Amino acid sequence: MSTPTIKENSAAALVARFLQARGVDRVFALCGGHIMPLWMRLDAQGIRIIDVRDERAAVYMAHAHAELTGGLGVAVVTAGPGVTNAMTGIANAHVAKAPVLVLSGTPPQAQENRGALQDMVHTDFVRPLTRYARTVRQPELVLQELDEAVSRALGQGGEPGPVYLDFPVDTLRGEVPRALLQPEQLQGLPRARVLPDPQAVQRAVELLWSARRPLVISGRGARGAGPQLARLLEQLGAPYLDTGESRGLIADDHPSVVAAMRGSVMGEADLVVTVGRRLDFQLAYGSPAVFGAARFLRIADCAGELRDNRRGAAEVFATPAEALEAILQAGAGRTPATERDWVQTLRSKHLERAGKLVASMKAAPPGADGRMHPNRLLAALREALPADAVLVADGGDFLSFARVGLPASTYLDPGSLGCIGVGTPFGIAASLACPGRTVVVATGDGSFGFNAMEIDTAARHRAPVLIVVANNGSWAIEVRDQQETHGKVVGTRLQFADHAAMARAFGVHGERVERSEDLAGAIGRALAVVGQGRPALLDVVVTPDAVSSDAKSGLAWVPDLQALAAWDEAERRWRASAD
Active-site positions read: 478
Distance of CA 102 to the CA centre of its chain: 17
In angstroms, the Cα distances linking 314 to 20, 236, 381 are 42, 17, 43
C-alpha to C-alpha distance for 156 and 160, rounded to whole angstroms: 7
Angle in degrees, CA 503, 508, 510, rounded to 5: 60
Q: Are strands 536-541 and 390-394 parallel, antiparallel or unpaired?
A: unpaired
Cβ-count burial 111-128 (b if 16+ within 10 Å, e if not)? eeeeebebbbebbebbee
Q: Which residues contact 516 (CB under 8 A, 6 or more apart)?
A: 372, 376, 377, 380
Angle in degrees, CA 163, 169, 170, rounded to 5: 125
Q: Which residues contact 344 (CB under 8 A, 6 or more apart)?
A: none
Provide the β-strand partners of residue 539. Answer: 469, 512
C-alpha to C-alpha distance for 456 and 232, rounded to whole angstroms: 46
Q: What single DSSP character describes residue 100?
A: E
Nearest alpha-carbon partner for 220 in 313, 296, 283, 264? 283
In angstroms, the Cα distances linking 464 to 261, 382, 500, 527 are 36, 19, 16, 9
Residues recorded for the chain:
579
